[in-house]
Amino acid sequence: MLIDLDHFVEFYKFSEKKFSAKNFVEFFDLLYYKKAYVVFHSYELLLPLGIIISFYSKSFFLSGLAIGFAIHMFLDLIGNPVYLRGYFLFYRIFTGFKKEKFIDAEKHFKNSEKRRIAKLKNSKVLGFIILVSLFSLLSSSCTVLRGKPEVSRLFYKEKGLASWYGEDFHGRPTSSGEIYDMYGLTAAHRTLPLQTMVHVTNLENGKSVNVKINDRGPFVGGRVIDLSYGAARILNMVEAGISMVTLEVVDTNIDFEDKLKIGVFTVQVGAFLVRENAERLMRNLNKKYGDAYITIYETNSKKFNRVRVGSFLTLEEAQKFAKKLEEKKFNTFVARKD
């Protein structure tokens, strides 16, 4: 009804017939059989305007309003073929905006009973059309409410050996500060930002799992990720201990690529249970390169002295320095400092 308020204005403009509650039904019926041209209102202008506004504003309300205009326009067309003759703006422009008068009201009301019978015959068809339209509208609304999933982009992919760690680390603080839960779905990675969600696929059996990076490691040659016991169980690799996997970071965060390459990175050269061995290596590295230091890492049964060198602001700088050390026969791992 709100969309059809313009018809009341047209009634006064063209017929000069006053409206009253008594003849409301006849009045409304007459409006749908008119031939008047609507100069100031046209769906073919409102509909694209509504679609454009709803697209840029990303408003569910405006999107629903645009859909409502489209359905109303469609029902008007199939319910009143007169519109095809003169309702649209392009036709009015072509005819020079010539206005036709209302059809004879008295004659119209005399034939109202015949039209009522004709409408009853077509009620089933119109009812079906309305039901289909409502179903389409509700389906569209449900889709809007669920929300259109954002298109994800692959930001990072890596292939290599995965291992898992369990009881000896259970209940210990991770690099993120979180307490390690061996039954959770987490993992350790040397350089990915903490809290990154990673999709891990076991290439040996096709099983996959999503894990959160909340720790640093593994510091064993050839391995790319250390999984929690819970994640390893899902990948069916607990018994084997290690498996070839692919890591994929699919993220909608546009800042991820910058976070991946920028931060504070260091190069780990060794890890020792005996403190004196770690200090000896640290002194040698300080003589040649400087900025060598020792960090302590404890499990439930062991205490490691990790020897590291340097602080680099980009991953690329750290990798170049690691390569330089490898040429001197050092075993190196680039790790993010958290």
pLDDT, one tens digit per residue, over 166-215 is 999 999 999 999 999 999 999 999 999 999 999 999 999 999 999 999 99
Confidence at residue 317, expressed as pLDDT on a 0 to 100 scale: 95
Residue 181's region, left for phi above 0, alpha for psi from -120 to 50, else beta, is beta
pLDDT of 258 > 80? The answer is no
- Looking at CATH, the fold of the domain delimited by 261-336 is given as Alpha-Beta Plaits (3.30.70)
Any idea which of 48-57, 108-117, 132-141, 212-221 has the lowest mean pLDDT?
108-117
Alpha-carbon span 258 to 254, nearest angstrom: 8
Asked if residue 39 lies in contact with residue 97, where contact means CB atoms within 8 angstroms, the answer is yes
Q: Report d(CA 51, CA 68) in Å as an integer.
A: 11
The CATH number given to 153-253 is 2.40.40.10
Write the pLDDT tens digit of every residue in 280-298. Answer: 999 999 999 999 999 999 9
Pairwise CA distance, residues 241 & 50, whole Å: 59
pLDDT at 75: 57
Q: Is the pTM of this model over 0.85?
A: no
> What element of type H or E holds 159?
strand 153-165
Per-residue pLDDT of 143-178, as tens digits, reads 444 444 444 567 789 999 999 999 999 999 999 999
Q: Binning pLDDT at 50, 70 and 90, where does residue 41 land?
A: very low
The sheet with strand 303-314 has its strands ordered as: 292-298, 303-314, 262-272, 333-336
Indicate the helix (H) or strand (E) that contains 306: strand 303-314
> 307 falls in which pLDDT band (50, 70, 90)?
very high
* Token digits of residue 64: 């629903």
In the chain, domain spans? 2-146, 153-253, 261-336
Q: Which residues pair with 188 in a beta bridge?
A: 215, 226
Give pLDDT, residue 168. Answer: 93
| DSSP helix/strand/coil, 228 | strand
Q: Which residues contact 174 (CB under 8 A, 6 or more apart)?
A: 180, 186, 188, 214, 215
